[in-house]
Chain A
Amino acid sequence: SQTIHQWPATLVQPVGSPLSLECTVEGTSNPNLYWYRQAAGRGLQLLFYSVGIGQISSEVPQNLSASRPQDRQFILSSKKLLLSDSGFYLCAWSPGITGTQYFGPGTRLLVL
């Protein structure tokens, strides 16, 4: 069966520091991968998605970036965090056929 992992689970970072959030999927190959951000009590905002290694589509221009160095690994990065980057970050994968997405447990990021 397929599983999706995210780490860290919680992160507290100072403004201006770098960020690296990692997402990995097991039990499948060539998945579509997604990064979302969710503010408290709000809906999901799609940040990036990838349909293959090295293929990244950005949905919202901002100081975040994403990379997919391996088939089942998706990384969300920032060189300098802003206060507005605080939120809950969710990674998801999809087999790409039905569009169904399966989500990881998420990372809570607090930028101080």
Chain B
Amino acid sequence: AQTVTQSQPEMSVQEAETVTLSCTYDTSESDYYLFWYKQPPSRQMILVIRQEAYKQQNATENRFSVNFQKAAKSFSLKISDSQLGDAAMYFCAANRDDKIIFGKGTRLHILP
């Protein structure tokens, strides 16, 4: 069965610093997509970044980047220059057929 594991339930980072959120996954698919979603206090789920497994280049979106290690099935999210607005729950996810499998989430606190 496909699984997504986030081993850090909570993390804290000082404003303007860099933080990395960890994620590992297990899949038997050869082609798949990986995602990071952000859920701020409003609770709406917002897509942060997406990685296509067949692409070796790590995806980047402004201050957000990923470290995709396909052989290790690892997909971490790096947030640079952390801002107060980055405080949220972050979910790692992987697609399976027409569905997405989500991890349990990491709550990120930004310390002013």
Residues of A within 8 A of B (CB): 32, 34, 38, 42-44, 46, 49, 51, 88, 90, 92, 94, 96, 98-106, 108
Q: Provide the residues of chain A in CB contact with B46, threshold 8 Å.
A: 103
A44-B91 contact, Cβ under 8 Å, with A104-B44, A105-B42, A106-B43:
yes
A51 touches B98 (CB 8 A): yes
Q: Provide the residues of chain A in CB contact with B75, threshold 8 Å.
A: none
Secondary structure at the B interface, as helix, strand, loop or mixed, is: strand
Residues of B within 8 A of A (CB): 32-33, 35, 37, 42-47, 50, 52, 91, 95, 98-100, 102-105
Nearest residue in B to A102 (C-beta to C-beta)?
A: B47
- Determine which residue in B45, B46, B47, B52 has the highest number of CB atoms from chain A within 10 A of its CB, and name it: B45
Nearest residue in A to B32 (C-beta to C-beta)?
A: A99
Q: Provide the residues of chain A in CB contact with B104, threshold 8 Å.
A: 42-43
